[in-house]
Structure 1
Amino acid sequence: MLSNSVPPRSSKIQHLCSVFGLDLFPSNTCPEPKLQAFSIFFSSSITIPYKYTDKEMGSLLSSPKTKEQMEAALNKVKDIVSSSPVVVFSKTYCGYCKRVKDLFQQLGASYKVVELDTESDGGDIHSALIEWTGLRTVPNVFIGGKHIGGCDTVLEKYKTKQLVPLLNDAGAIANNSAQL
């Protein structure tokens, strides 16, 4: 039975999740103190819980272990954000990320993409983003060095005609003709 099985290697689960476009989300419903419960949420809203021991959790979620490592990851994120008018922290398989990247492309905006699932330190970067912005999901978008939010926020700003002025002010659009 899937819900009670512990996969032999958490990296296999990570790989399968990335292949099928799934995200792992923590759950606080685990009754056993030495286990962490995780669920895989599918787009069809089916939930299959998995349980991992503390040791497996360390290999499943790659996050900085020390204050220095977290500080280094946060500094790297801030350097990336300050290096480009628009930065999209993304995952290659994420449909919401694709929507945002497609919108920026349609608007003719220059933007930098950091694909967290292909970066060797993507887990550390993602952990730093969570700590800095409070946003656990991708895309995580910055315009002009300021945190904007995720897909819904970017699309809402576009619908309310607030996005193009932000992009212009940040220097991400060469001309003001991006009014799609």
Structure 2
Amino acid sequence: MDRLAKLSSQKAVVIFSKSTCCMCHAIKRLFYEQGVSPMIHEIDEDSRGKEMEWALMRLGCSPAVPAVFIGGKLVGSADTVMTRHVDGSLKMLLKDAGAIWL
């Protein structure tokens, strides 16, 4: 959990992902299209990835990835991020975190 907290606050937007996950790819693309350069942490390429996956699940991410942190705070998985994108609240979160300029 400590490592997860440290990694999630290293940049305005941090995405925990698996390199083979299609939803992870879609979420990363969404952020790139918004002009955001997120820190991507591929947990399937990390020797402690299983620990991180369990920690994400304990935080409420189900499935564990993609897990998106903005401004060091957990936003959620793909469904939450997409809902925020559609209702317009994602842009405000990104602006408040300093990830984009409006």
Aligned-residue offset at 1:144: 0.9
| Distance change (3 Å), C-alpha of 1:152 and 1:136 | closer
Aligned-residue offset at 1:128: 1.6
Aligned to 2:31: 104
Structure with larger Rg: 1
Q: Residue type matched to 1:98 in 2?
A: H
Q: Deviations over 1:91-110 (max 9, x none)?
A: 01111111110000000112
Aligned-residue offset at 1:119: 0.8
Aligned-residue offset at 1:126: 1.1
What aligned pairs does 1:123-162 form with structure 2 within 5 A after superposition? 123-131=50-58, 133-137=59-63, 138-162=65-89
Q: Deviations over 1:23-51 (max 9, x none)?
A: xxxxxxxxxxxxxxxxxxxxxxxxxxxxx
Instruction: State the number of aligned residues.
Output: 101
Alpha-carbon RMSD across the aligned residues, in angstroms, is: 1.0
- Residue 36 of structure 2 aligns to a residue in which SS? coil
Asked if residue 84 in structure 1 is aligned to residue 11 in structure 2, the reply is yes
- Residue 134 of structure 1 aligns to a residue in which SS? coil
Q: Deviations over 1:117-160 (max 9, x none)?
A: 111111111112222x1213110111111111111111110110
Aligned-residue offset at 1:83: 1.0
TM-score (structure 1 length as normaliser): 0.54
CA distance in 2, matches of 1:167, 1:155: 14
Could you list the runs of 5+ residues in structure 1 that have no partner in the other structure? 1-73
CA distance in 2, matches of 1:129, 1:75: 12
Q: Residue type matched to 1:93 in 2?
A: T
Query: Which protein has greater RCO, CA pairs closer than 8 Å, 6+ apart?
Result: 2
Among the aligned pairs, what percent are the same residue? 40
Aligned to 1:57: none
Question: Could you say which structure has the higher helix fraction?
Answer: 2
TM-score (structure 2 length as normaliser): 0.93
Alignment partner of 1:113 out of 40, 43, 53:
40
- Residue 92 of structure 1 aligns to a residue in which SS? coil
Alignment partner of 1:167 out of 83, 94, 98:
94
CA distance in 2, matches of 1:167, 1:119: 27
- Residue 46 of structure 2 aligns to a residue in which SS? coil
